[in-house]
Amino acid sequence: MEVTVELVDEATREFDVEPGTTYGELLADFDVSPHEVSVLVDGRPVPEDEAVDAEHVRVVRLIKGG
């Protein structure tokens, strides 16, 4: 399945994911910790250990340095 992952205000990437791939595994390519982001599908948070079943995923940083 083709999935677009948007790290809000930073980057957007497309992935061809295998069945069983989790939302947490999508984060590895962005070099972010699951503890500092929230993964959203249709505006709702999803657990990182849930299998990907959406074509568009938004990742929002919860903490941003400054």
Digit-coded pLDDT (tens) for 10-44: 999 999 999 999 999 999 888 888 889 999 999 99
For residue 34, the model assigns a pLDDT of: 83
20, with CB counted inside 10 A (0-12, 13-18, 19+), is exposed
Beta bridge partner(s), residue 55: none
For residue 47, the model assigns a pLDDT of: 95
Q: Taking Cα atoms as reference points, which of 61, 63, 57 lies closest to residue 25?
A: 57
